[in-house]
Structure 1
Amino acid sequence: MWMRGLMLLALVCLTACHRGMDPVTFHDDGYPPKLGDWHVVEARDGTLQLNNGVVPYELNTPLFTDYAHKLRTIWMPKGVSAKYNPTETFDFPVGTIISKTFFYPLPKGEARNATDVARTYDTSRDFAGQGLNLNNVHLVETRLLVRRKEGWVAIPYVWNADQTEAILARTGDVQALTLVSDNGQRENFNYVVPDQSQCVSCHAHDWTTRALQPIGPKARHLNRDYHYPDGDENELTYLTQVGYLTGAPAPTDAPRNANWMDQKAPLDARARAYLDINCGHCHNPKGAANTTGLTLDINTPEDRHIGFCKPPTAAGQGTGDHMFDIVPGHPDDSILPYRLSSTEPGTMMPEIGRSTVHQEGVALIKAWIAAQPGDCVVLH
């Protein structure tokens, strides 16, 4: 009990900068016009601060969104917890608020345009304590998933030019930005904030009911360490100790996806984790892409279901005139990397959520396909 008490105290003290912030406010209906109306995260004193009880988390392998960095958080009202599930999204109680703030580090150096953002995996300059250092980052949007009595509701907010508040954007938004690499290479692109109705295309776990579900809060994605104010701790363990999760086993007994960037992890594990988070929420037996016969979540066996020598369900632009989803040993003959490499509507996959090509992700999937044995036989 004493350990639980210490963890609850740590949760209360999760950030030292939230003094003066009103308590988190759960709105059980409607669409508040400002992100600040929820008091989950707020821009204060040069920092995007987390309120009391707002717990940050990361994923082993995150979804790609135009090289944006993301600050993810969970908040729950007192006295309730999520129920652990080994394979699916945890069963979160009514009142839960999950936030995801999309942002970019600013390019290093003084000479830059107002729309320049860094294309980097370096997160060392992002954080100030458990918040974001607004001197070093550019905030774009914060999306809320709110668990109301009738189910999950997605509510998007876009940050203003002054970076002081995020405003409700139910119809979405488009921002012209320029990715700047460390070597000075520049890429202009349109960052697209999906409108509220588009959220269902990724977050509908069951395409029959089209009820929204969170994607990231699953055991295999959260089974990793996070650097909390009181030290490093496994996220499943921490959520359990602060009372936000019940029924979780020891981390060694829970599933765990690989980090797609971990060169020490097996290539197969890295590629499957990448496909799971970027494609598996649609390409599964109940998802939006269930009619394609291509299932890409981590639980799919590596046979024809994951695309080996599987002909596409429809020909045309999306296939690039390739005959199979995956041709073992031949990534350039495979539909999967062809679609991941495209930004053309009707060809690109995923269909929404990006305007740029994830070059490193495509390289990973090509390397994985190139390493696969076997061949595809064409029957005439």
Structure 2
Amino acid sequence: MSVEPFDAVDVIRTKRDGGAVPEDALRWMVDAYTRGYVSDAQMASFAMAVLLRGMERDEIRVMTDAMIASGERMSFDGLGKTTVDKHSTGGVGDKITLPLAPLVASFGVAVPQLSGRGLGHTGGTLDKLESIPGWRAALSNEELTAQLAGVGAVICAAGSGLAPADKKLYALRDVTGTVEAIPLIASSIMSKKIAEGTAALVLDVKFGSGAFMQDIDRARELARTMVALGTDSGVATTALLTDMNTPLGLAIGNANEVRESVEVLAGGGPADVVELTIALAREMLALAGLPDADVEGALAGGAAMDAWRRMIVAQGGDPDASLPVARETHTVTAARDGVVSRLEALPFGIAAWRLGAGRARAEDPVIHAAGIDLHAKPGDAVRAGDPLFTLSADDDARFERALAALDGAYEISDAAPARAAIVRERISA
């Protein structure tokens, strides 16, 4: 029986006392945890020490690299195309990946968008796309590469071989109160994205009511940490800090978000969704060496829609099929004349989740037709009796708890609110 070169208790004590864990000891800790030598209890103790004491930039780099080394690392070197990806930290109504991937791919750039499923109030990209009849999320590495070579865009599930250490640590953080540790969030996101093999990466780091990071300063720290990690690993990385105090667009759910994404690809759609899609596309294309790409022209001229249709068909979906529609709806109307002054993202995300659009546990099914359609956004004038939003569900018994989540979440005032920019800052190395 081989003797382990380090002791987990020593590593925990070093971090507990505010020290930097030496590189070889930190790499060993991640590896030993992945193979089951270091226990969940020990890793939970280490994660709490990181939450309370933080990590130096070099420690976060080593931790990320060790998590990448725990599994396979993909490569698109033989593709003959530049690869660029986008990662969002998640929000309410955030369907941006859907129009963005085909839009960027329409310029001859490959977009390997390995996405996840929703848990809690933020929806998962794969759940949204599974509203489309026949569409499948699981692709082999060979299918993924072939689709990137042909269509240029892939939105699919990440394989289990990428950063297995992260999968194990992520589940542990979820049940030990250590999710919020910025070094652990950054290493979790970036280990998967770097292992995915993309040459460039744009991060959409959200702040506000409906975001994972509600405070803009914490969101900025996370963005800077992730940009540094990408840069240190040879991946060209930039980040946009974006506002998630109000839901993005008018649709919150799954099937209704697909409908809204198709509207954007057809040259329409809500102004905020279009604005953020264009901003992220420009950022991605600049990293891919196309700083002067006519992004608006690709939307208006149909090139992005053509790429979307090819992408859906390639994964077994029917882009012309009818999307699911809920059996029951409930519309809330304005109680008075005025201007919508507030529409808080988090309660609307929770309400959509309670309607069945999200899941409380990883194994729960998602009701694709459930969700919320907004009829007015902050700044819009309404008259008493005008519809404000419509709840959709397959069971009208769900409306009561959804409405309870929305109590106090929106406001009609006499004056319009000041308009806040969606993209607040750009962060680069």
Instruction: Flag whether TM exceeds 0.5 (same fold).
Output: no
TM-score computed with the length of structure 1 as normaliser: 0.30
Q: Max radius of gyration: which structure?
A: 2
TM-score computed with the length of structure 2 as normaliser: 0.28
Give the structure with the higher percent helix.
2
